[in-house]
Chains A and B, each alone.
Chain A
Amino acid sequence: MAASSERSPPPFPDSEEPELLEDSDEGADAFTGTSISEMDSPSPDSTRPPKDIFNEPPEDIFSDPLSNINSEPQKKVDAKIPSPSSDEAVDLFSDPLDDDSEVMSSPEVQNPMPDLLNEPVEAPKSDVLGEPPVSSVKKAASSEMFGDDDDDEDLFKEPPKVVTKKPQPSGPPVDVFTEVKSDVKVKPQVKDDPTDLFAEEALTAPAPKPSAGSSSSRTNGVHSEEQDLFSEATVELSLDSPRNDRKNKDAVKPSVSAPAAPVASSSSKAPSKTLKELEEEESEDKFDLNISITNPEKVGDGMNAYMAYKVSTQTSLTMFRSKTFTVRRRFSDFLGLFEKLSEKHSQNGYLIPPPPEKSILGMTKVKVGKEDPSSAEFVERRRAALERYLQRVVSHPSLLQDPDVREFLEKEELPRAVSTQALSGAGFLKMLNKATDAVSKMTIKMNEQDVWFDEKIQDVENEEQHLRKLHVMVESLVNHRKELSGNTAVFAKSVAMLGSSEDNTALSRALSQLAEVEDRIEQLHQEQASNDFFTFSELLADYIRLLGAVRGCFDQRMKAWQRWQDAENMLQKKREAEAKLLWANKPDKLQQAKDEITEWEAKVTQYEREFERISATVRKEVIRFDKEKARDFNRQVIKYLESLLHSQQQLIKYWDAFLPEAKAIV
């Protein structure tokens, strides 16, 4: 128990130590929350709490045909509990959590022996699962991280709720259920790792049955809940397995399906949400979460004044308490959200959309309270930037699941975000850039095995430069537009004056009409200027910031690589030390050296895996970013064209109206 949750070398002297070690290590790492919960209960009765949860609901669910089959394993569980040591239970348990997909696919798992169970962890993973698992492992990983990082409380609060809701499984659960069954049939022995099965079921499901897959794999919150449920069920099932696995498949089915039901119902809690999210990934059109920021309002006076914004959310996602809700947030809250998100997710390689930069000059103007147009423009610009920022955050499928995001959107009062000063926009970017520079020296050392990353890093750098260039161009375009609008206004005025001192009535009339036309055209130019600004200038600025964040992701990956390499070096040293000891024939220290090697081997494997995981995540994130970018730009271009077209149509209208006036001059 203790060994599983600790990082320090556990007391396993055997040959399978490394595997066990690494497994327990990671298991504990990823699932601290869960394993701690297990630890809470005294080891002999470690099955007690889960049993309660488990025993109660199944009766409801499986009251029908399944119930009798179900009861079988149930009893067995009860009977078997004392036999295996709690240690084994933990192994079984921590193992699946971590290596979910691998274990389940392995045929050797048939053997119920705890040691063997651990063995196959490495071998079959890639063979059996082939290509798809890459993503599925990733997803599992992400969910693990979630559970690990932030969901602890939720996880522990929610499962009971879920359990009580079990009795009413609706449409989607059935899918999940049947899916599980088929899975189980294929791999009957796997039932000793229900978590895996489940995770895997969830992960593989998307291919054949999107609806089932979506309900379990896409939503992290839900997913972690499942795992939670399972981790509790696991103890029983794994204990049960030694006997059960030799039995017929029928027995397996219910035992697995029992946990399946709660999961299904837990996901059925939010079927629409999960579906929505899936769709969101595929096509954003159906994404049903509208966030708008309105009513910027100055709160307070003097230098302590700040702007508060109304953040309105409109959604049909059931993860939120209601369909529409509104909160008031200030700028530092937005920065605080970013801080929280990057703390949690950036080391996993997630691309966290950066918030707009803090502007001391702009804000001071607002604070001073002069009602000049530049400060109004500043406020509007910031409002729009914050809106885009939030929209980017929630359109990220993983970030949307973050409780902080939800809290930010829903909770009435947020604790005041502190020390956002250092992090605010520009400072943060500077920091990032500095990090990039520092790392770039490392880059030379890091021989990039992945051509994709090699090219992408180069691409991102080039692109950033191009975008900066474009940004300058657009800025000048916008300035010229503004100039044009100003000049048109002046011209309109002088035409009006000319008209008023004109003797010829028709000409005078035409001139004043013309002045009006020019006034309207001035308005058009002004609109177009702000259109140019908001569609392109701000878009480009956003993407320059986002590219900075992309580079941040690359840096995180680099760091993971560095960690791995360091561990590798350390292991090498330890091995050399062992060899020396062996040669010097000092058996007393040899044991310690071996332990250390084991420890470092575990670390190397862990770091390597982490690196692979982060690489996969970054890659996925960057691909997603590229896709989003193209889509975003296209959308903006369409918007821009619409505004251009509108301007031209207005112009046609104006000139059409003016032409008869000009012709009427006598």
Chain B
Amino acid sequence: MTEGSSAEAELSVRVSSIRITDVTQDGDVLTFAIASQKLNSSAGVCVFRTYEDFDWLQQSLFSQENLPGLHGIIFPPLPSKALPSQSNTQTKALKQLGFLALGQAWQSYSKALEFYLQQVATHPTLCKCNALDSFLINSESPGRQRGRKGIFNRLSQAVEEMRKESHKDVDNFFQNERIKNTNLAALSKVATEKLLDVVMTEQKLALACGHFSTSLHLCVNQDDAAAVAFSKVCLKLSDIIEAVKRNFEKAGSSNLSTLGLGLDLESRYQEAEKEMLFRRTCKLIELETVKKSTEKAKANKREVMEAFQKAVEKEFSLISSVAKQEIERFHSSRVNVLKNFLIGWCEQQLNTAKEFAELYSQHLEACRNMYTE
């Protein structure tokens, strides 16, 4: 894809340099600062975008014209809209955004958006879209005009889904892929939710530890020797619990920033693939209906119908071939992405464990010394 972008020179910034550097919250509106570096110079570009701009970009990608096989593309998934003012409905936000609602100051959310931009920019076809370039470079907001709700409106899809999802595929490859995808999408969603539960519990534990640690200070009493000894123990324990708290916080945040985001992305990507497969299935059904009506058609109309059928067939096979490529690309890239997240996660957990093992053994030493004193 890098070759693609250099050959076409469509994208004027370096993909790997795309970063969301800052988030500011103004009432209900989150503004993201997106920084990137020009390809041909070291000059940096920084633009400010709201969620609406992201949505505009996504819609523009959906509605690209003159792009054969658009329906076969797995579009990088855009996280759903965050509603920061509804902070009182924390549980609702969690339900809607999952991991992305966690983390300090929308960090994980902007991380996910950043990842989205990078995915779009690395996509061999989508990176050529003008909308992306203007999104990244133009200092003015590009998408003030509401992008019309595209053909891929999720809501309408949900209704049709029931009817068409189970449609038998003509191609075994796609049939299998669909089954697998449904499976994986469900599983990865569950796994994400479960990991989210784990992280939430870790946060609760950190909180409980904090309370415990603070309360231990209440027991401090300097009246006599025994009380002083007891107070010492309490303070020590307070320190230890504080360490445990930090341990939980650290483990939790590394769960969140690595595997959490990874699984979230995975599950959203699976959804995106599902959507693409669904679009293809729709096309397939359309083709089949056309075929049927061509057979039924009267001789005078047959020619027109056959021409139409051919066009649809061509489109369908184009979509299928694009879809095949996309699926392959998706598989290899998701394995890679997951691998990186897993490694990062593992390393962070390892570091945390090592750090706290060290800390605990120091405390232990101190406690033992206190005992012998």
Tell me how many residue pairs across A and B have CB atoms closer than 8 Å.
Answer: 166
B219 CB, min distance to chain A CBs, angstroms: 5
Does B195 lie at the interface of the complex (its beta carbon under 8 Å from any beta carbon of A)?
yes
Known: A466-B219, A494-B191. A484 touches B367 (CB 8 A): no
User: For this complex, into which size category does the number of interface residues on chain B fall?
Assistant: 35 or more
Query: What is the chain B residue whose CB lies nearest that of A493?
Result: B194
By the criterion CB–CB under 8 Å, are B371 and A638 in contact?
yes
Measured in the bound complex, the distance between the Cα atoms of B229 and A446 in whole Å is 31
CB-CB under 8 A from B356, the residues of chain A are 644, 648
Q: Which of A69-77, A199-207, A600-608, A651-659 contacts B (4 or more CB under 8 A)?
A: A651-659
Query: Which listed residue, A469, A494, A631, A656, touches B194 by the CB 8 Å rule?
Result: A494
Contact residues of A: prevailing secondary structure: helix
Query: What is the chain B residue whose CB lies nearest that of A470?
Result: B215
CB-CB under 8 A from A638, the residues of chain B are 364, 367-368, 371
Does B190 lie at the interface of the complex (its beta carbon under 8 Å from any beta carbon of A)?
yes
By the criterion CB–CB under 8 Å, are A491 and B195 in contact?
yes
Does A319 lie at the interface of the complex (its beta carbon under 8 Å from any beta carbon of B)?
no
Query: Which listed residue, B204, B227, B342, B360, touches A644 by the CB 8 Å rule?
Result: B360
Query: Beta-carbon contacts of A473-508 to B below 8 Å, as 1s and 0s?
Result: 110110011011001101101110110011110110
Measured in the bound complex, the distance between the Cα atoms of B361 and A642 in whole Å is 8
Measured in the bound complex, the distance between the Cα atoms of B215 and A477 in whole Å is 13
By the criterion CB–CB under 8 Å, are A491 and B227 in contact?
no
A371 CB, min distance to chain B CBs, angstroms: 28
Measured in the bound complex, the distance between the Cα atoms of B228 and A459 in whole Å is 13
CB-CB under 8 A from A480, the residues of chain B are 201, 204-205, 208
Query: Which listed residue, B191, B197, B202, B233, touches A630 by the CB 8 Å rule?
Result: B233
By the criterion CB–CB under 8 Å, are A466 and B215 in contact?
yes
Query: Which listed residue, A467, A487, A627, A666, touches B226 by the CB 8 Å rule?
Result: A627
By the criterion CB–CB under 8 Å, are B229 and A637 in contact?
no
A298 CB, min distance to chain B CBs, angstroms: 35
CB-CB under 8 A from B202, the residues of chain A are 484
CB-CB under 8 A from A630, the residues of chain B are 226, 229-230, 232-233
CB-CB under 8 A from A659, the residues of chain B are 343, 346-347, 350
Query: Which listed residue, B219, B229, B345, B357, touches A463 by the CB 8 Å rule?
Result: B219
Measured in the bound complex, the distance between the Cα atoms of B357 and A258 in whole Å is 64
A507 CB, min distance to chain B CBs, angstroms: 5
Known: A487-B198, A640-B240. A652 touches B357 (CB 8 A): yes
Measured in the bound complex, the distance between the Cα atoms of B187 and A495 in whole Å is 8
Contact residues of B: prevailing secondary structure: helix
Query: Beta-carbon contacts of B186-226 to A below 8 Å, as 1s and 0s?
Result: 01101100110110011011001101100110110101101
Measured in the bound complex, the distance between the Cα atoms of B343 and A253 in whole Å is 87
Query: Beta-carbon contacts of A421-449 to B below 8 Å, as 1s and 0s?
Result: 00000000000000000000000000000
By the criterion CB–CB under 8 Å, are B353 and A494 in contact?
no
By the criterion CB–CB under 8 Å, are A470 and B212 in contact?
yes
By the criterion CB–CB under 8 Å, are A634 and B367 in contact?
yes
Q: Which of B239-294 contact A (CB under 8 A)?
A: 240, 244
Measured in the bound complex, the distance between the Cα atoms of B216 and A470 in whole Å is 7
Query: What is the chain A residue whose CB lies nearest that of B351?
Result: A655
Does A649 lie at the interface of the complex (its beta carbon under 8 Å from any beta carbon of B)?
yes
Query: Beta-carbon contacts of B352-364 to A below 8 Å, as 1s and 0s?
Result: 0110110011011
By the criterion CB–CB under 8 Å, are A641 and B240 in contact?
yes
By the criterion CB–CB under 8 Å, are B353 and A651 in contact?
yes
A608 CB, min distance to chain B CBs, angstroms: 27
CB-CB under 8 A from B329, the residues of chain A are none
A598 CB, min distance to chain B CBs, angstroms: 42
CB-CB under 8 A from B360, the residues of chain A are 641, 644-645, 648
Does B81 lie at the interface of the complex (its beta carbon under 8 Å from any beta carbon of A)?
no
CB-CB under 8 A from A665, the residues of chain B are 335, 338-339, 342
Measured in the bound complex, the distance between the Cα atoms of B229 and A631 in whole Å is 8
Query: Which listed residue, B198, B212, B342, touches A491 by the CB 8 Å rule?
Result: B198
Query: Could you list some 23 contacts between A and B, CB below 8 A?
Result: A455-B223, A463-B219, A473-B211, A476-B211, A480-B201, A484-B198, A484-B201, A491-B195, A501-B187, A623-B226, A626-B227, A626-B230, A629-B226, A631-B229, A631-B371, A633-B233, A634-B233, A642-B364, A644-B244, A644-B356, A651-B349, A662-B346, A663-B339
Q: Which residues of A contact B (CB under 8 A)?
A: 455, 459, 463, 466-467, 469-470, 473-474, 476-477, 480-481, 483-484, 487-488, 490-491, 493-495, 497-498, 501-504, 506-507, 510, 514, 623, 626-627, 629-631, 633-635, 637-638, 640-642, 644-645, 648-649, 651-652, 655-656, 658-659, 662-663, 665-666
Known: A641-B364, A652-B350, A659-B346. 10 other contacts (CB 8 A): A459-B223, A488-B198, A497-B191, A501-B183, A504-B331, A626-B226, A626-B227, A634-B233, A634-B371, A651-B353
